[in-house]
Structure 1
Amino acid sequence: MGDQITRKVTYFPLQAHCFAFGGFEVQMLSAFKAVKNFGYDGLSLSKVDVWSRIADFDVAHFWGLEIDNFSNLIWAKKSGKKVVLTALFGYYETFLLKAKNFASRYLHAGRFRLEMLKYVDILVVVSDEQKILANKYYGFSEDRIIVIPNIVSNEFMTLTKRVLPLGLPFQQYVLCVGNVCQRKNQEILIDAVVKLGLNLVLVGKPIAGERSYVSRVEEKVNLNKNIIWIEGLREGSEELVSLVQNCSVFALPSFSETQPISMLEAAFCAKPLLTGNRAYAKQKFYQNAMLVNPNSLSAIQIGLESVVRDPIKYVSPSIYLTECTEEAVGQAYSNIYLSI
């Protein structure tokens, strides 16, 4: 295609990053970078300038099927832009969750989401399971749903094992990476490793609005010398990569996830995985992971014992993980922008 620009794409975030920043925001920025670095010629990418009056772009890429994006998405479509939406969907694993989803179609948030989808040209989801959900529960046409998984940054793909960060008081440890919040269930993981006498490294910032939960986690960390809490490391940083590469077990017994990036990173580093026995853990990328009841301390404890005893058994196969590289994802999004 040479250097001629044939398609201009602008990214729209879900909310201001100063208020909320997690895995979904990391993926948006990683996808932007991947298309820039590994996408095809003919694309020009930008991030929306909310103060600008100029709409000089062809494709509006929105991140998140939430009310926050409602007005801009509809105006983009009315202005003649092609609309791409990357969305995360719940798995509706229980009858109650299914009933709530059905009821939401007639309530405020659910009605807005269904209305938004009418204006979307291409819907992007992270897994085959999410594609089925988007079609089944939201009625979005299968032929307009594209599966593009989350990205594992190239920093995790080096074959050189990095030296453990200075100051870590032990060499063998369980690692858990993610924002510290009730959903990710670090508190019960702490109880399990304490009972087993294992070492634990927690990496993640506390979530705003969960002060009581975070305080309990902090108290338990302070009472146990075999637990280290590092309050957030930049994604792809040398210290984070080193912690993943050198851990004995990667554990994330979450109650709810979509496609946790931290588990993909651990899988890339051929680390044994332990996670919640929920729908998110049954994707092809996490094959062989030890699945445990996230509500049960004894289940997590028994699971950790099994993984520590026979770690190789719980390492995911690498066959599918190439789909998560920056190059693969960058080219996948490029294909959408150029063909839409």
Structure 2
Amino acid sequence: MKVKFFFRKKEPQFNSIEELFDAVSRKLSVIISVESITMPYGKISFKNIFKNIKYTRANSGKLNHITGHINYVTLGLKGKTILTIHDVGSTLNGNKIKFFLMKVFWYWIPALSVKKITVISEFSKKELVSIIPFAKDKIKVVYNPVKEELKYQPKEFNASCPKILLIGTKSNKNLENTIESLKEISCELHIIGKLAKEQLLLLEKLEINYFNQFFISYEEIIDAYQNCDLLCFASTYEGFGMPIIEAQAIGRPVITSNMGAMKEVAGESACLVDPNSISSIKEGVEKLIDDAEYRTNIIHLGLKNVERFKIDKITNDYLNIYKEVIEAK
């Protein structure tokens, strides 16, 4: 068996899909032949879309797996294809014309041409079924794996001035509410992601002590998990919420949202808060700081939760899908 992975063009600010399938690829390569194909063009334009489709046609195999965010390249693939869709909400923002075009060319046409579609959470599956109900039998949930590089590393919690890690600065990451919730709490923020002017002004206005990094390597992200005291990830929308299980694998307590994929991924292993309520986020942070017994239990539950996302299990899920697609007439 041989599978060809098709990746979007790599950009310095986006690496989650590449990191995810690099881990899966390394595990699969012990069992089957795996080849990775990266698109030559990144910026979305009619010219680049056409060139990427032409490129995939020249490089397609008998079994293809589009790893995410280039759904349209299904039009260039000749063999049997699996498509992974990471989230729906972020691609359907905008006016009615854009909404219609995205539904047709990003979801409907690809859904008709592929054999299987994988999504990364039950939440994402529900969203996707509402858009392509005709293809619901093709959709299967395969969770994101936690990478083996993320090893448990205990750390003495700094209750007097904890280092709080915030990952992501896009609007769904809810940074403004999170910053507001921390204005009366003695802490140091480590923010990963390029800050907008408004976010910088808010940090300055509230006199928040912070450290910012962006366009960093995965090794630096691991360092950030290891050096923090807790992760605050109170997003308003996620297709999965990878930082939740990454921080838990290191052994850090997690605060995340009580909705959508984040609640699904974390379950009872994190402090769940209302992301739309500044007071709820604040109360969650204070509870983790002040209640050592609660914090220890959250860490313990987090380590147990990570077992659901071990790379061997996720790799086996993909392998079973590949076998099913190959054997199907």
TM-score (norm 2): 0.77
Q: Note the 1:125-140 alignment, pairs <5 A.
A: 125-139=119-133
Deviation at 1:162, TM superposition (A): 8.0
Deviation at 1:217, TM superposition (A): 5.0
Match of 1:267 in 2: 248
User: Which stretches in structure 1 are left out of the alignment for 5+ residues?
Assistant: 1-5, 93-97, 165-169
Q: 1:279 aligns with which of 249, 256, 260?
A: 260
Match of 1:176 in 2: 166
Match of 1:312 in 2: 296
Q: Which has the higher contact order (CA 8 A, sep 6+)?
A: 1
* 1:60 equivalent in alignment to 2:52: no
Q: For 1:187 and 1:240, locate their aligned partners in 2 and report how far apart those are by CA, in whole Å.
A: 22
* 1:110 equivalent in alignment to 2:103: yes
Q: For 2:156 and 2:142, locate their aligned partners in 1 and report how far apart those are by CA, in whole Å.
A: 32
Q: Say whether the 8 Å CA contact 2:21–2:67 is kept in structure 1.
A: no
Q: Note the 1:17-28 alignment, pairs <5 A.
A: 17-18=10-11, 21-22=13-14, 25-28=15-18
Q: For 1:281 and 1:8, locate their aligned partners in 2 and report how far apart those are by CA, in whole Å.
A: 30
* 1:69 equivalent in alignment to 2:71: yes
Q: Say whether the 8 Å CA contact 2:57–2:76 is kept in structure 1.
A: no
Q: Say whether the 8 Å CA contact 1:126–1:149 is kept in structure 2.
A: yes
Q: 1:251-292: per-residue Cα shift (whole Å, max 9, x none)?
A: 011121111211111122332221223212211444242222
Q: Say whether the 8 Å CA contact 1:10–1:45 is kept in structure 2.
A: yes
Deviation at 1:218, TM superposition (A): 5.7
Q: 1:195 aligns with which of 174, 184, 201?
A: 184
Structure 1, 103-112 or 132-141: larger mean CA deviation: 103-112
* 1:36 equivalent in alignment to 2:22: no
Q: Say whether the 8 Å CA contact 2:253–2:270 is kept in structure 1.
A: yes
TM-score (norm 1): 0.75
Q: Say whether the 8 Å CA contact 1:27–1:151 is kept in structure 2.
A: no
Q: For 1:153 and 1:220, locate their aligned partners in 2 and report how far apart those are by CA, in whole Å.
A: 38
Change (3 A) 1:275 1:9: same
User: Which stretches in structure 2 are left out of the alignment for 5+ residues?
Assistant: 41-54
The size of the alignment, in residue pairs, is 303
Q: For 2:56 and 2:67, locate their aligned partners in 1 and report how far apart those are by CA, in whole Å.
A: 20
* 1:120 equivalent in alignment to 2:114: yes
Change (3 A) 1:28 1:59: farther
Kindly indicate which of the two structures has a greater share of residues assigned to helix.
2
Deviation at 1:323, TM superposition (A): 3.7
Report % sequence identity. 20
Q: For 1:262 and 1:193, locate their aligned partners in 2 and report how far apart those are by CA, in whole Å.
A: 20
